[in-house]
């Protein structure tokens, strides 16, 4: 943005700080907030505060760029622009119009407004988004004689409006597409695991490449590819575009500098095996293609093999898996047999290993027959899950 400062315009407050500090917010899948706060802290973010569904933080433009490139558990990164009272449609219109859109938009650019509403006099998010859009368009038309166009799919400026308890918060979405879209997974099986959730799972395991890693039900390979990329220190967003690249003040030189700095931190290879098994030949084909696009074709090996034939590749290691739990896949009776089989394979073949199982159904998980040493709450979309840790002695 332009020179940072605090401005009061009628009742709208433009959220700016001195010394080029930006107020930022990461939207996060439920359950992963503390993981995201830790990721941001490692990147040098300041004032990280985890709340339900997100993490607020501050930093300079480099911090913003770095967070987009490297935070693996966040869904979006928002730059907070302004706040104002919003108890009526007129207050919404006036508050939006009083924000500095002329600094951010030209009539040749496109925009979109995403809105959420909670516990407020304005109850319809679609109406609020239209009212906010009208205010922005009217301001640009009155000041320039022309109006920007709306593009809901790929706008130059995506605006996030959140209204809660008659208070509006306006942010700019720096992400563009959600951050789980790394750019390498094009083929998805019947029950895909989002990359953000996979990253949260792998961060909970603490796997760092010092022991073998195995996923005996690898699906499209997301857990293994995310885990390997984390262990290597690869840049999460190196292969994709971001929304802020269309902003008027996007600093291409600084972006390339930050990207290069992060890329130089990555290791070239891991010494120990990373293996994925699946009985579906189509899944294995997809896994290999995903690994190739992710630049990990020589780091992660995939093979067609049913779960009950899984074997350890060392005396100790980490096993991680996301078995079906009946929401979209599998008959209940078949799933009960499967979960008993999981426990049998763990006990019979993987002594000395540590296993992590994402359970969307705790009654099914009990059929494993082992007591987990730890439980982590994570959400797979709207479904509350448990990541269960088993020490296999």
For the stretch 233-279, pLDDT in tens is 999 999 899 999 999 999 999 999 999 999 999 999 999 999 999 99
Question: Do residues 205 and 165 both lie within one domain?
Answer: no
> In this structure, is residue 255 part of a structural domain?
no
> In this structure, is residue 95 part of a structural domain?
yes
pLDDT band at 11 (very low <50, low <70, confident <90, very high): very low
Task: Tell me the two tokens of residue 237.
Answer: 């967003």
Domain of 113? Answer: 22-173
For the stretch 38-90, pLDDT in tens is 999 999 999 999 999 999 999 999 999 999 999 999 999 999 999 999 999 99
Provide the terminal-to-terminal Cα distance of the chain, rounded to the nearest Å.
56
Question: Do residues 118 and 227 both lie within one domain?
Answer: no
376 alpha-carbon distance from chain centroid: 18
Question: Do residues 211 and 119 both lie within one domain?
Answer: no
Please give the Cα distance from 25 to 40 (Å, whole number). Answer: 11
* Interacting residues of 336 by C-beta distance below 8 A, sequence separation 6+: 364, 367
Question: Do residues 296 and 339 both lie within one domain?
Answer: yes
For the stretch 284-302, pLDDT in tens is 999 999 999 999 999 999 9
Q: What is the CATH number of the domain that holds 342?
A: 3.40.50.150
For the stretch 323-351, pLDDT in tens is 998 755 558 889 999 999 999 999 999 99
> In this structure, is residue 17 part of a structural domain?
no
> In this structure, is residue 14 part of a structural domain?
no
Give the mean pLDDT of the chain: 92
Mean pLDDT score, 97-123: 95
Task: Tell me the two tokens of residue 109.
Answer: 């650019």
Question: Do residues 99 and 220 both lie within one domain?
Answer: no
Strands 383-391 vs 354-359: parallel, antiparallel or unpaired: antiparallel
| pLDDT (0 to 100) of residue 231 | 98
């Amino acid at each position: 943005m332009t020179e940072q400062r605090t401005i009061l315009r009628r009742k709208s407050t433009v959220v700016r700080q001195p010394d080029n500090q930006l107020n930022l917010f990461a939207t996060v899948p439920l359950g992963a907030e503390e993981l995201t706060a830790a990721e941001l802290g490692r990147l040098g973010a300041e004032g990280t505060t985890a709340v339900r569904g997100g993490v607020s933080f501050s930093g300079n433009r480099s911090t913003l760029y770095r967070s987009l490139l490297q935070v693996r558990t966040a869904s979006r990164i928002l730059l907070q622009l302004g706040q104002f009272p919003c108890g009526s449609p007129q207050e919404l219109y006036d508050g939006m119009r009083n924000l500095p859109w002329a600094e951010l938009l030209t009539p040749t650019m496109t925009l979109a407004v995403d809105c959420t509403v909670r516990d407020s006099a304005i109850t319809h998010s679609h109406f609020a988004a239209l009212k906010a859009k009208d205010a922005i368009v009217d301001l640009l038309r009155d000041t320039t004689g022309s109006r920007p166009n709306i593009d809901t799919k790929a706008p130059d400026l995506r605006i996030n409006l959140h209204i809660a308890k008659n208070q509006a918060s306006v942010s700019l979405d720096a992400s563009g597409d959600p951050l789980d879209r790394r750019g390498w997974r094009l083929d998805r099986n019947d029950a895909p695991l989002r990359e953000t959730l996979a990253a949260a799972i792998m961060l909970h395991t603490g796997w760092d490449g010092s022991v073998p890693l195995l996923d005996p039900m690898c699906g499209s390979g997301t857990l293994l590819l995310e885990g390997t990329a984390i262990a290597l220190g690869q840049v999460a967003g190196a292969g994709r575009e971001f929304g802020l690249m269309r902003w008027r003040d996007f600093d291409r030189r600084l972006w390339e500098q930050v990207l290069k700095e992060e890329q130089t931190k990555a290791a070239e290879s891991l010494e120990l095996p990373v293996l994925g098994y699946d009985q579906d030949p189509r899944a294995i084909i997809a896994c290999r293609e995903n690994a190739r696009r992710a630049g990990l074709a020589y780091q992660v090996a995939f093979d067609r093999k049913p779960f009950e034939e899984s074997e350890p590749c060392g005396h100790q290691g980490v096993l991680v898996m996301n078995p079906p739990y009946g929401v979209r896949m599998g008959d209940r009776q078949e799933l009960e047999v499967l979960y008993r089989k999981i426990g049998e394979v763990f006990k019979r073949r993987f002594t000395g290993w540590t296993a992590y199982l994402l359970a969307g159904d705790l009654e099914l998980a009990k059929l494993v027959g082992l007591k987990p040493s730890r439980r982590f709450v994570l959400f797979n979309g709207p479904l509350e899950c448990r990541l269960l840790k088993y020490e296999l002695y």
